[in-house]
Structure 1
């Protein structure tokens, strides 16, 4: 279970109650479509930003109760109205995707967390609204899990993001561990690099564990869905540690044995 793209939240899983599959699919299509505008193909930055602005205009129409101009947004409009979902969360996602187009480096950890607040946390918050569990404490725990999953994705995809001109490792962390970007370009794993990734992995694990108690507040199968997601993210962090941070030659991949391990750990949460 690579924590990749937008597959780090449940999409029509058999574990989900049937009534939740339609709204979750609608949220997924919105997030996936907007992410692809920001990240895929060979469009210019201006074209990407315009495409995301067009998505934003559709959200504005939905807020006003007007019919979307694009038929692809009709179902999302129905879901937002039926489930009374906060449209600000969809705006946060679009803001993060727009930031991805123009921002390629992050000065420090708080700056990176602010990006995750908009790129990842809205998804968890929307899921909590769908199941009627959007209390302040549950939202806080969900934010911890979603941000941690986003960071897991960053650490396993360092080489892939470099090819896109992006470095999500905070610049102050690179300086602290005496790592320059030429080392990333050369895909060189040194003792300093191992120390840097160990630091990031441990910080990310602490964040994931800080939110893990959320699974006990979620009803039935949704709780099990999130248990598996949390344990999948933690397993990938273990894989990064086992590779001593060498995500260049050993990008974390989970196999059948890992899924069994994830399942058994989920039973103990």
Structure 2
């Protein structure tokens, strides 16, 4: 369910119809390049924001039927035109990456949900447009799945995010369960930490299950791919729970046997 830096993206999956692999790759490379600007290396924040503004300028050229300046955006422009892809999701992704540069803490879950709306949900929106399945109901299910995947990524990567100065756990939740930031820095998984993470994992699982009907709405290999993505996210949550929420020393990853389990759980559901 994850690929390199930009997770939650089913890139070049064997389940992806061949006709969609090129546009999916173009969207992925845009998202990964922008994500790398926000996260990688030791650039000052001002330079990161400037480079993301250059990406916005390239998107504007696509919108106004001008030729983009870079090969990355010329490839993206071709797919946007070929598949009539909406432009707002691309801008939303850039807004989220820019936010990562300047915002390191989240006061409450509402703030975090707003971030997920721009950092994760646009991916599902674009994929549904590629699938020609972008109905209001499908988009609502997709938003729930994508936000859940983003939360799952945060929960498995608490230590990694802290290492680059970010905490996505809502501050109000830390206070509610009596967890200090120093505890994250030291990797202390005591009773308070386990109670906090049980709460966050349950919230992510509930959100994922809210969106799960999408996997049965979509047809053929696309539907199977979606059910595998859902099963993968739930499997990571199961692994977090099995590790007693000690992701500091037992960061969950999907191994070959997990894919067997996920496939077995990916039969179409009836709702």
TM band (smaller chain):
over 0.9
Give unmatched runs, 5+ long, in structure 1.
none
Instruction: State the partner residue of 1:80.
Output: 80
Residues 206 and 114 (structure 1 numbering): CA distance in 2 closer, same or farther, change over 3 Å?
A: same
Instruction: State the partner residue of 1:39.
Output: 39
Taking structure 2 as the reference length, what is the TM-score of the superposition? 0.97
Instruction: State the partner residue of 2:192.
Output: 192
Contact 1:161/1:167 (<8 A) preserved:
yes
Contact 1:2/1:253 (<8 A) preserved:
no
1:51-130 map, 5 Å: 51-130=51-130
Q: Distance in 2 between matches of 1:240 and 1:234?
A: 10
Instruction: State the partner residue of 1:13.
Output: 13
Contact 1:133/1:217 (<8 A) preserved:
no
Instruction: State the partner residue of 1:180.
Output: 180
Contact 1:2/1:252 (<8 A) preserved:
no
Q: What is the root-mean-square deviation of aligned Cα atoms in Å?
A: 1.2
Deviations 1:137-175 (A, max 9, x none): 100000000000000000000000000000000000000
Instruction: State the partner residue of 1:49.
Output: 49
Give unmatched runs, 5+ long, in structure 2.
none
Q: Distance in 1 between matches of 2:154 and 2:188?
A: 17
Contact 1:37/1:52 (<8 A) preserved:
yes
1:233-248 map, 5 Å: 233-248=233-248
Aligned-pair distance for 1:42? 1.0
Contact 2:7/2:153 (<8 A) preserved:
no
1:21-36 map, 5 Å: 21-36=21-36
Deviations 1:67-118 (A, max 9, x none): 0011221110011111111111100000000000000000000100000000
Give secondary structure in 2 for the equivalent of 1:266.
Answer: coil
Residues 2 and 187 (structure 1 numbering): CA distance in 2 closer, same or farther, change over 3 Å?
A: farther
Contact 2:8/2:120 (<8 A) preserved:
no
Q: Distance in 1 between matches of 2:23 and 2:144?
A: 23
Give secondary structure in 1 for the equivalent of 2:16.
Answer: coil
Instruction: State the partner residue of 2:255.
Output: 255
Aligned-pair distance for 1:10? 1.3
